[in-house]
Amino acid sequence: MKRKRGGEEEGMDIVWQTPANPPHPHDYVFRNGIRFVRPYYFEFIAHVKNRWAGKTIVDLFAEEFKGRPYDYYVSAVKCGRIQVDGEIVPVSYVVKPSQKISHFLHRHEPPVMACDVVILQNEPDVLTICKPASVPVHPCGQYRKNTVVGILQAEHGLAPLFPIHRLDRLVSGLLILARNAAKADIFRQQIEAGLVHKQYIAKVVGEFPEDKLIVDANIEYNAREGRSTAEVRDSAKGKAACTKFTRISTNGTQSIVLCEPITGRTHQIRVHLQYSGHPIANDMLYLSEQTVDRSVKGWSADRSARISNVSLTSDLDEVLNACEENSNEDFSIDPMCTNCPNLAPKGYDGDEDGLWLHCIRYTGPGWAYECPYPDWAKLI
């Protein structure tokens, strides 16, 4: 869809995308094992919430969307890249409840690891894939095309797809997607009825107990900090949560553990393993200072350095720096964009190691789907 915003340079021929525009294979740029998305023009749409009402259009954006400087929002309003109800407004305009706000911007998505999204089974109503770590399942936050759903649509023409369970962005393994809304609803009903059994494997710190371990501890999620904490069962805090753990193997330093969550709380497996004293060995969010020393014994020297070094560095950082030098070979530079000339958005720290947590099996009434084990599940 070609549209010029008021005040745009006459020489710019911009194609604005909306969520209705599907991703295509040419949208991606691959460099040194990293999948980038070629920056594109996109229309973000929102409606004024009651708590936003009474603010000027510039103050609203500066206070609610802090990823760009105040001066950018002033310029964006003046040139028509921010509009209210489809109209250009002055920077002093005061918004009212339920008004439609459009923000036309040059969108840069964070990169992900360039692992294939492997299709395991492709049935008329169900698609199962092996989700690579670092790739979010569906559009969220800064991610739209660099998602499992986006990649499957771009590279395999598979759409629409309805993920029937969650996998965090840094978690890998089995992901089940319904091919239609009716099948998705059947899965949803089975999950809510407790008829679906989930199994994961994790590589954890230390020698995990040989006997089965059941962790029955409430989980409280702190959205501001982006992490969960485990509380004793009779605590008034958090929601009830239960996970079964069974040791598969150990080398005395680390263990491979089968994880079977009975409930489905945010970060449940990760925080319950931490609660047990055996956190996931590369889970920097839940590793304590005491367990870091034990976990790095099983890591290569460069990964160990990542833990002890306050300013994390990685091969991905070098790739990002190299991309900055010649990024304009792959896309047009936008004069107003606060991320150009880089491929990746500013503030991206390049810390993209996947967690040693992998979904291997889901079973339900009359069905079962599995995913192969990852390479890290072999202890030397």
- pLDDT reported for residue 322: 47
H/E segment holding residue 218:
strand 218-222
Residue 60 and residue 73: Cα distance in Å, rounded?
Answer: 10
Residue 269 and residue 273: Cα distance in Å, rounded?
Answer: 6
DSSP 76: H
- Helix pair 70-79, 57-64: axis angle to 10 deg: 140
Q: What percent of the chain has pLDDT over 70?
A: 83
Closest CA to 51 of 43, 39, 67, 63: 63
CA atoms within 13 A on the CB side of 17: 17
For residues 76 and 300, which has the higher predicted lDDT (pLDDT)? 76
* Residue found by looking up tokens 């995990």 in the block: 208
Over residues 284-293, mean pLDDT: 70
- pLDDT reported for residue 137: 97
How many CB atoms are located within 10 Å of the residue 291 CB?
A: 20
- Reported as a single tens digit per residue, the pLDDT across 325-372 is 444 556 789 999 989 999 999 877 555 679 999 999 999 999 999 999
Does 380 have pLDDT greater than 80? no
Q: Are strands 172-178 and 357-364 parallel, antiparallel or unpaired?
A: parallel
H/E segment holding residue 207:
none
168 included as an active-site residue: yes
Residue 36 and residue 339: Cα distance in Å, rounded?
Answer: 14
Residue 377 and residue 80: Cα distance in Å, rounded?
Answer: 53
Least confident of 84-88, 210-214, 300-304, 367-371: 300-304
Least confident of 3-7, 97-101, 188-192: 3-7
Q: Is the peptide bond before 374 cis (omega within 30 degrees of 0)?
A: no
- Reported as a single tens digit per residue, the pLDDT across 85-144 is 999 999 999 999 999 999 999 999 999 999 999 999 999 999 999 999 999 999 988 899
* Residue found by looking up tokens 């150009």 in the block: 340
The partner residues of 178 in beta bridges, in order of sequence, read 126, 162
Residue 229 and residue 241: Cα distance in Å, rounded?
Answer: 11
- Reported as a single tens digit per residue, the pLDDT across 59-68 is 999 999 988 8
Taking all residues of the chain, what is their mean pLDDT, rounded to a whole number? 86
Full DSSP string of 294-348: HHGGGS-HHHHHHHH-SS---HHHHHHHHHHHHGGGTSPPPTT-SSTT-SSPTT-
Q: With beta carbons less than 8 A apart as the criterion, state whether 259 and 200 touch.
A: yes
- pLDDT reported for residue 309: 32
Task: Tell me, rounded to whole angstroms, the distance of Cα 201 from its chain centroid.
Answer: 20
C-alpha distances in Å from residue 154, one per residue of 35, 144, 316, 318: 13, 12, 24, 27
The structure tokens listed for 140 are 């969220």
Residue 110 and residue 172: Cα distance in Å, rounded?
Answer: 18
φ/ψ (deg, to 5) at 218: -60, 150
Give all domains of the chain, ordered by start, each with its CATH number. Answer: 23-109 (3.10.290.10), 111-290+351-375 (3.30.2350.10)
Q: Which of the following is catalytic: 59, 168, 293, 317? A: 168
Q: Is the pTM of this model over 0.85?
A: no
Task: Tell me, rounded to whole angstroms, the distance of Cα 132 from its chain centroid.
Answer: 11
Does 301 have pLDDT greater than 60? no
